[in-house]
Amino acid sequence: MMYCFSATGNSRHIADKLGALLGEKVQDITHETRLDLSGRVILVCPCYYWGVPDMVRALLKKTPFPAGFPVHFVVTCGGFLGTTDHLVQALVRPAKALCCQVRMQTNYILRYRVDTGERLARRLRGAEETLPGIAAAIREGRGLYKSSPLLRPLASKMYSLYDKGRNTQPFYATDACTSCGLCAQSCPDKAITMNQGRPRWDKPQCQLCLKCLHRCPASAIEYGEATRGKARYTYPNEKIPSR
């Protein structure tokens, strides 16, 4: 079974493609998900601060993995995975974590900007080209990503920034909000409610997946000043131009 956490579509696209190549069904990860260890287990998710989303971390922590059981991780990122392989190995121990990396477009516009045009198309074409090799590695029980031991001292410090940064207080809706309620309906943490037709973030922390922000039809959701004037991103529905 392939399990997927995706906010803006990168990881879901990769999971669907790999699922077709490997003959695996794809199941979305929620707070209620339980892993079926009777067959192959593949998790597809984005990289957050050299780690995985909190929902994925919680799923791994509550799963009683047998010793040596292979757990495949296919992690999407805008740059590189850092020590993600090291972190997930600690979470699945005594099982064995096998990691692969897929470079795509980042959605983390709190710090970066979204690529456009040919640069974006080039990134997404490159991701597609890695998939047959990743599928082959999974079939053979191999991982394709291994972090440098020199980075290991930074691992816990980097990932701690994720937990410190999952603050919902900076989220707000501008006057462009149309009261559609999509943000509240689709939030993985159910952290948003509609109050007099406007979204309100009721929980102090969330996944910080930015799904509400990127998928807002009116681009009405901001995160403090960090996202103002920046383009939003969801995985393209249109065909990616070929070379």
Mean pLDDT value across residues 138-150: 96
Mean pLDDT value across residues 164-183: 97
pLDDT at 239 over 60: no
- How far apart, in whole angstroms, are the C-alpha atoms of residue 107 and residue 235? 10
DSSP 204: S
Those residues whose C-beta lies under 8 Å from the C-beta of residue 162, and which sit 6 or more positions away, are 48, 49, 51, 54, 208
Tens of pLDDT, residues 194-212: 999 999 999 999 999 999 9
Domains in the chain: ranges and CATH: 2-163 (3.40.50.360), 166-223 (3.30.70.20)
Q: What percent of the chain has pLDDT over 70?
A: 97
Between the two ends of the chain, the Cα-to-Cα distance in Å is 33
185 is written with which tokens?
């309906």
- How far apart, in whole angstroms, are the C-alpha atoms of residue 124 and residue 102? 10
Asked whether the beta carbons of 173 and 115 are under 8 A apart, the reply is no
Using CB atoms within 10 Å of the CB of residue 233, give its burial: 0 to 12 exposed, 13 to 18 middle, 19+ buried.
Answer: buried
Tell me the H-state helices in 45-154. Answer: 54-61, 84-92, 117-139
* Strand-pair partners of 194: 199
* Strand-pair partners of 28: 4
DSSP 241: P
Q: Is the dihedral of CA 202, 6, 103, 106 positive or negative?
A: negative
**Predicted local confidence at residue 243, as pLDDT:** 45
Average pLDDT, the chain: 95
Tens of pLDDT, residues 62-108: 999 999 999 999 999 999 999 999 999 999 999 999 999 999 999 99
**Predicted local confidence at residue 237, as pLDDT:** 63
pTM of the prediction?
0.95
Mean pLDDT value across residues 99-127: 95
Asked whether the beta carbons of 33 and 27 are under 8 A apart, the reply is yes
- When computed from its CA atoms, the radius of gyration of the chain, rounded to whole angstroms, is 18
Asked whether the beta carbons of 153 and 167 are under 8 A apart, the reply is no
Compute the C-alpha angle 102/15/54, nearest 5°. Answer: 75
